[in-house]
Each structure stands twice: as structure tokens, then as C-alpha cells.
A and B are shown apart, each in its own frame.
Chain A
Amino acid sequence: MTCDEFEQDLVDSSRCRSGGDGWLLRASKAAVIQAHVENCPVCAKKMAEATRLQDALDRLRASTMHLRAPAAVERNLLDAFRQQAARRRTSVGRASGWRFVWLSAAALVLLAAGLRLYSSLPTKSPLKSENNSKGSKLEIQLPSSPGLSGAAKEAFRKDAGALADNPVTVSSRRVARADKPISRRLARNAAIPPSDEFFLNGGGSVVRVTLPFSSLTAMGLPVRPDLSDTRVTADVWMDPFGAVVGIRLVPAGARAD
């Protein structure tokens, strides 16, 4: 071992740890180093100085191992920790509140969007095609209406019996007045029962007319654009005030009454 190698070994292996891998304790190097320092007074002096310094540092480390931060520091830190924890809880609660608000708003928006989408979808055509032995017939099917008076139902049954054989032959028919007229709004929404007949409630009349398909759009019925100019025959149910309450399309070959 040369002095340079000894110096390098001193640099490389003079680990700070006092035990284990400290350079003076490394068994693999100890013999070589010892042999060198016995013949080199300069390196022997360096080794002695390094040993002395390491011992002094070890003693200093041991002499300060008992040192701790004062208790006041821990108290201050605990106060700070509690305040921080309280702030975090508050912020979390506030965040939860805002989260609830945002979720509610999002749910409302989604609901509104869903309703709008649903309303924009093509409605199911109220026109129902039916084939029977007497030819095809188009009939307006409206939802059933509750609250019809007994007299109105009786009038319907009477009318239905008369029209059962040929529901498309009614050209104009005065219908019996009900003993208790229902409101105009109810009449507009009143159902034509799922039979072959109109149900005329609170008076009115059925008039057979010929009109273009495009006129049906004003009544809320879907019409294909290419058929808008085609004329069609229909039985129109008009209330006593002249407003259209219902309509039934009549096939072209149907016989008039």
C-alpha cells in the first residue's frame, strides 16, 4: 500500500459510523493498513489523528444524545395540529355541502335534459290502423279519461251500439247531451273509448270533411311531408263551440252514411 492509496482509503472508507463499517474497524483492510503505518510515520500520524477525531466526535455525539426540544415546542405543535385538523374537518364539511349542492344541481339539469329529450322524441302516432272484414279503418286513439259522468257513458253506449256495425258510415250525428257537461278542457282530452266509436260528451257533432293531410298537423297529428297535399276524408268531432275535439280518418272506399 502506498501513501496515496492509504489516503484514498482514508477518504473512501472513513465512514461516519463509529461501528460496523468504520475504516479503522474493517478487518479486510486492517492488516494492510497496519503494515503500512508501521513503516510510514506520516500515515501513522494521519491515522492517529483520524482515530482521535473520530473518538472525539463519538463522545460529542454521545454527550448530546439526551438533548430534546423543550416541552413548549411540543405544546405549540399540538395546538397547531389541532387547529389544522379542525380546519381540515371544516373544509371537508364545506366541501361536502358544496358537493351536495352541485350534485343536486346536476341531477336537476339531467332531469330537465331528460324531459326535454323525451319531449323532442317523435310521439307515438295516435293513428291506429285496423283491418277488419269491412275494410281498413283509421281511428284516433286517445288516452282514457276518468271522471266521465254516468249520463255521458250512457250516451256513449247508445251511440256505440248504433255505430258498431259500420263505424265509418257516420257522416253527421247529433249526439245526446249529457246531463252533466264536463269542462271544455276535459272534453278536449276526453278519450274516444277503445272501441270503434267516437264518444261525444257534452254535446257536439261529428262532421265528415275532406281536407289535406297538412291540416292534421294543426291538430297535433304527425304527417309525412310527401303526403301533406294529399286529401283525406275524416270524421271530425266538434264541440258545441265549434272546436275540434277529435278526428277519425275515413278510408277512401268507405261508404258515406
Chain B
Amino acid sequence: MDVNDARFEDDGRLLQLMIAGEEHGFVALYQKYQGPVYRFSLHICGIRHIAEDVTQETFLSLIRTPQNYHFDRGPLLLYLFGIARRLVWKTAGRERLYEEFDNDRELPVSLPDFADDFARQHEAMRLRQAILSLPRKYREVIVLCSLQELSYEEAAVVVGSAIGTVRSRMHRARQLLLRKLTEGGSEVAAARSDSFLRYGRGLDYDL
């Protein structure tokens, strides 16, 4: 996904329409970006209703304070990712104190054709679990770069870090993912559950 693509050039016009109260301006922006924002939130937190809430709150923020977005700071999608990132960590951290995670319930209900066999579904599930078991700083860069197809530069804008930091985190995230995937599904699930509990107690960890 190249956010500098021509598809994004009219974001400013749509935003102006939205600010002027034109509903179709907002609808166009929502239709354009709700998918990426929702998927980003879902990949980060793994909980569907949190992803829905985060998506809603992200666009509500755009509705209420559109003036907070500045074109010179990057494309609108990166701004939305930044809002969603803050919200998802805030919401997920709050909810994890009270709620037990249910993998089966929260995973996507359908997979496309290439993953229609059991092995690939199982692989996808393991990969999702492995991603969700990553520490926060590694998880968000792997989601942004590998699942949202942002470049390092764009991911650096979203997470507010230097490009070099994103690059090194990405490398470390890949190493962690490979290790978790080769260790086996049961270990990944255990690691995920362990990280979940530690995060819930507010004790962030670093592998």
C-alpha cells in the first residue's frame, strides 16, 4: 500500500468537504480507510470488538477535530493509524485486565482460497498467535510493515520513532516470529498467554 499514491491525492478535498458538513466527503473517507484501520486494530489487539471500537473512535476523532490533521505531517492514513495505535493500546490494556482472550472467537471467520486447506489455516492461525504474542513495539512494526505494507519511513511516522529504530525492531520482530513459529503452536500459545497476563498486570516485557 503506497500512501503517496494518486489515490490519496484527493484526501484533502474530501476532508474539506467533510469539514464543510458534506456527508459524502466523510463517507468517502470512511469507505477508503475504514478497512485498513480496522485490520490494523484487529492485528494489533486480536479482539474484534476492540478493533470495532477503535475504528469508531478513530473516525470520531477525525469528525470532531479534523483540524488536528496537518497535510505536511504525512498522508491521512498515517494520521489515522497513529490515532488507532494510541487507542488500541489504551483500550486493549484496559480490557485485558478483565477479559479472557478467546482465540477461536476472535480470529477471522473465513479465509480466502489459497488457505482453504487445513494446513494453511493452521499456519495462519499460528502466525496470528505468534504476532499477538510479540511485545508491543515489535508487534506494531510487523503489523504496519508486513500486514499493512507500509514502508519503514511510513511506519516510523505512525509509531513516532526513527527509521533506524523501526528497521531494527522489524528485524527483531522477524527473528522472534521465526522462533515462535519453529517452537510449535503449543509454545506459541503459551507464550502468548504469558505475555497477555504480564501485559495485563502492566509489566511490559522484552524478550
A interface residues with partner B (beta carbon < 8 Å)? 10-12, 14-18, 49-50, 53-54, 56-57, 59-70, 72-74, 76-78, 80-82, 84-85, 88-89
Question: Which residue in chain B gives the minimum CB-CB distance to A74?
Answer: B30
CB<8 Å pairs between A and B, sample of 17: A16-B151, A16-B152, A17-B151, A53-B181, A60-B128, A60-B147, A61-B146, A61-B147, A66-B110, A67-B39, A68-B34, A68-B38, A77-B30, A77-B56, A77-B63, A80-B60, A81-B18
Q: Classify the interface of chain A: helix, strand, loop or mixed.
A: helix
B124 near A60 with CB under 8 A, answer yes
Given A57-B147, A82-B23, A63 and B177 contact (CB-CB distance below 8 Å): no
Selected contact of A59 from candidates B124, B145, B149, CB within 8 Å = B124
Question: Which residue in chain A gives the minimum CB-CB distance to B43?
Answer: A64
B135-152 contacts to A, CB under 8 A, are 142, 144-147, 149-152
Residues of B within 8 A of A64 (CB): 39, 42-43, 108, 147
State A78–B110 Cα separation when bound (angstroms). 28
Closest beta carbon of chain B to A69's beta carbon, Å: 4
A17 near B38 with CB under 8 A, answer no
B interface residues with partner A (beta carbon < 8 Å)? 18, 21, 23, 26-27, 30, 34-35, 37-39, 42-43, 51-52, 55-56, 59-60, 63-64, 108, 110-112, 114-115, 120, 123-124, 127-128, 142, 144-147, 149-152, 155, 167-168, 170-171, 174, 177-178, 181-182
State A28–B7 Cα separation when bound (angstroms). 30
B171 near A14 with CB under 8 A, answer yes
Residues of A within 8 A of B112 (CB): 62-63, 65-66
Residues of B within 8 A of A56 (CB): 123-124, 127, 181
Selected contact of A14 from candidates B18, B110, B120, B174, CB within 8 Å = B174
State A14–B152 Cα separation when bound (angstroms). 10
Residues of A within 8 A of B64 (CB): 84
Question: Which residue in chain A gives the minimum CB-CB distance to B53?
Answer: A73
A77 near B174 with CB under 8 A, answer no
Residues of B within 8 A of A65 (CB): 35, 39, 112
Residues of B within 8 A of A57 (CB): 127, 142, 146-147
Question: Which residue in chain A gives the minimum CB-CB distance to B126?
Answer: A56
A69 near B181 with CB under 8 A, answer no
Question: Which residue in chain B gives the minimum CB-CB distance to A56?
Answer: B127
Given A66-B112, A74-B34, A16 and B146 contact (CB-CB distance below 8 Å): yes
Given A53-B178, A63-B124, A11 and B21 contact (CB-CB distance below 8 Å): no
Residues of B within 8 A of A15 (CB): 145, 151-152
State A64–B59 Cα separation when bound (angstroms). 21
A69 near B34 with CB under 8 A, answer yes
B127 near A68 with CB under 8 A, answer no
A61 near B149 with CB under 8 A, answer yes
State A60–B13 Cα separation when bound (angstroms). 33
Residues of B within 8 A of A17 (CB): 149, 151
State A53–B182 Cα separation when bound (angstroms). 11
Selected contact of B150 from candidates A16, A76, A85, CB within 8 Å = A16
Question: Which residue in chain A gives the minimum CB-CB distance to B19?
Answer: A88
State A127–B120 Cα separation when bound (angstroms). 111
Residues of A within 8 A of B30 (CB): 74, 77
B63 near A84 with CB under 8 A, answer yes
Given A12-B167, A15-B151, A63-B124, A68 and B35 contact (CB-CB distance below 8 Å): yes
Closest beta carbon of chain A to B104's beta carbon, Å: 16
Closest beta carbon of chain A to B12's beta carbon, Å: 18
The 7 closest A-B pairs by CB, nearest first: A16-B145, A85-B21, A69-B38, A57-B146, A69-B55, A11-B171, A63-B111
Selected contact of B21 from candidates A16, A76, A78, A89, CB within 8 Å = A89
Question: Which residue in chain A gives the minimum CB-CB distance to B179?
Answer: A49
Residues of B within 8 A of A78 (CB): 23, 26-27
B23 near A88 with CB under 8 A, answer no
A73 near B114 with CB under 8 A, answer no
Selected contact of A73 from candidates B34, B42, B145, CB within 8 Å = B34
Residues of B within 8 A of A84 (CB): 63-64
State A50–B174 Cα separation when bound (angstroms). 8
State A64–B63 Cα separation when bound (angstroms). 27
State A82–B123 Cα separation when bound (angstroms). 44
Question: Which residue in chain A gives the minimum CB-CB distance to B31?
Answer: A74
